[in-house]
Amino acid sequence: MMKWPWIFLVACSHSQTPTPTASTSASASVSVPVSSVSVSTSAPDPAPVHLERAFALPKSSDCKETDIRCLLEHAYASDEKSKALALELFDIAGGVAGTDHDFTMEGGFRGTLHITPALPIGDGRAQLERVVAAARDFEAFFAKNKVDPEKYRWRDLTFRFFRSSSGPRNKEVERTTPSAYAIGPRPMPKSIDDDVSFSLAYNLKGSLLTSENGVRETIFHEVFHMNDAAHGDWSPRVLGADYDAIVKKCGAMNVACLTPYAPNDTMVRGGTFYAFEPNNGLPVREYAAELALRWYKEHRAIMRHEQLPTGKAFKCGPPENRRSWDAIVKEFFALDLVPPCP
């Protein structure tokens, strides 16, 4: 499997950057709470939503700028099933299912990619179903584990759906990469309540996004990047020394030597673990996102009374694993339910 290796290299100037307004302080809890009725004809009053949350949806003269429900109803008017899913995503997790914008991405060795905005309707609807399933999972997971939303944000996300293609404009070929990217219409978040930056671009044909597991894990990985940035670019500062020592000892391409240190099994095709891919911005950030994903996968397994994903706790590996595990738990999650090491 291959993830897009330039997640932090792409300049984010190609944007319709909205004008930031003075305060985003109310934004962390703006979504409509889960109500006792499911999506229905009796829509609740619009919650006070920050203006910027609407940036990925088409404007409509029928809707107030901040009335996300109204904007969603308009955007999805042609597909009732997708509309219901988009409203459900908003109601359960404050998720806004919008679109990316049209631009040309310089994709390194993948060449030039054309990113086209595309709502998840019609044959793209299955992706919205997976995103809603992921949102339900995260809501249950984080609520049960009482993770502090001021320390780790998993909800009130904006999804910018797109399709990618390459080749001459008159005969473009659809592409399945990048699957998703956290970089967006503004630089990475500087705080946990930065609404425009807590958004991720999502490829309706993404190669990592063909199953509920793949979608959930890809979203988790990307959302960790946003939290990492919101914590002052935490991972290089805190994990950098151990990460560099591992790479120095093993070499970035030595899969056998790196295996005990790799938090997740995602590989770059024909290469190394995604967490250790050298041509990948500041790769310690990828290690951190994969470590966060490992934390989630182990805790999810424990919640579900399943075996740990690899049969072995990450923290019970080499001492570097233990230190990075403890550090990420302390900074973001304040929770370690994995049994002590033997």
Residues that bind Zn ion (CB under 5 A): 7, 286, 289
Which residue, 4 or 55, is less far from Zn ion as judged by CB? 4
Smallest separation, CB 177 to Zn ion (Å): 13
Q: Are 284 and 291 in contact (CB under 8 A)?
A: no
Which residue, 217 or 286, is less far from Zn ion as judged by CB? 286
Q: Are 69 and 76 in contact (CB under 8 A)?
A: no
Smallest separation, CB 114 to Zn ion (Å): 22
Which residue, 68 or 291, is less far from Zn ion as judged by CB? 291
Smallest separation, CB 289 to Zn ion (Å): 5
C-alpha atoms less than 13 angstroms from C-alpha of 298 in its C-beta half-sphere:
22
Helix (H) or strand (E) holding 193: none
Smallest separation, CB 64 to Zn ion (Å): 35
Which residue, 76 or 198, is less far from Zn ion as judged by CB? 198
Smallest separation, CB 269 to Zn ion (Å): 16
Characterize 236-252 residue by residue with b for buried, 16 or more Cβ atoms within 10 angstroms of its Cβ, and e for exposed.
bebbeebbeebbeebeb
The set of residues, in sequence order, having a beta carbon less than 8 Å from that of 299 and lying 6+ positions away, is 141, 145, 335, 337, 338
Taking the C-alpha atoms of residue 300 and residue 329, their distance in angstroms, rounded to an integer, is 15
Which residue, 7 or 291, is less far from Zn ion as judged by CB? 7
End-to-end CA distance of the chain: 33
